[in-house]
Structure 1
Amino acid sequence: MRRLLPAAVLVLLSAGAAAAPPGAEACSGCHPATRAEGAPPPLAGQPADDIAAAMQDFRTGQRPATVMDRIAKGFTDEEIRAIAVWVARAQ
């Protein structure tokens, strides 16, 4: 199964409007489409590598968080990458 996830990322990249990977759609609950005072930053349009790196840092505790550390711990490396790719492409 874990070997299939990198292939799934490639499918997401080529599909354009592909379905969101598990967990990705929940991001918009806290990360609005446009910058709002006091809200976490928007993710759409950010580089997928930056989003994935931030999630990895939250997961390991290298980046301070109120909630993201607990959220990021629920995903594998492959899931984090798939979410980052999808969220970065969301408009």
Structure 2
Amino acid sequence: MLRATLLLAALAAPPALAQGAPLVAEGCLGCHGPRGAGATGVPTLAGRDKAELVALMAAFRANERPATIMNRIVRGYSDAELAAAAEHFAAQR
């Protein structure tokens, strides 16, 4: 019984997040670099205005902004998740 309880507790524990980023922002780091600081050919997210980031993601979602993959990625997130990611990256310096 104790083993089952410990197993359930381990499964319920949230995963460790890199650099204190909210889980929703973690998916961005692979392309946009550590802390969203940008990578070769990929724009910087860190330090950009939250409203600007939300507007950019909305434009990708609506196919109003040219994209290779962002228009598909952004559709997998809710408005609240996109706002949380934008808030996180806006706070990065």
| TM-score, length basis structure 2 | 0.67
Contiguous gaps of at least 5 residues in structure 1: 1-17
> What's the CA shift string for 1:48-67, capped at 9, x where partnerless?
11111101110111111101
Higher RCO, 1 or 2 (CA under 8 Å, sep at least 6)?
1
Please state if 1:56 is matched with 2:58: yes
User: Matches of 1:24 and 1:34 in 2, distance apart?
Assistant: 14
- The whole-number CA distance in structure 1 between the counterparts of 2:22 and 2:86 is 10
**Partner in structure 1 of residue 21 of structure 2:** 20
**Structure 2 equivalent of residue 66 of structure 1:** 68
Query: What SS does the corresponding residue of 2:55 show, helix, strand or coil?
Result: helix
User: Secondary structure of the equivalent of 2:29?
Assistant: helix
Give the root-mean-square deviation of aligned CA atoms: 1.9
Shift of 1:29: 1.7
Residues 49-58 or 20-29, more deviating: 20-29
TM-score (normalizing by structure 1):
0.68
Aligned partner letter, 1:75 = Y
What number of residue pairs does the alignment pair up? 72
> Secondary structure of the residue that 2:23 maps to in structure 1?
coil
- TM-superposed CA distance for 1:71, in Å, is 0.7
Identity of aligned residues (%): 42
Runs of 4+ in 1 over 4 A off after TM superposition: none
Task: Assess, with a 3 A threshold, how the Cα gap between structure 1 residues 35 and 56 changes in structure 2: closer, same or farther.
Answer: same
Structure 2, unpaired ranges of 5+: 1-18
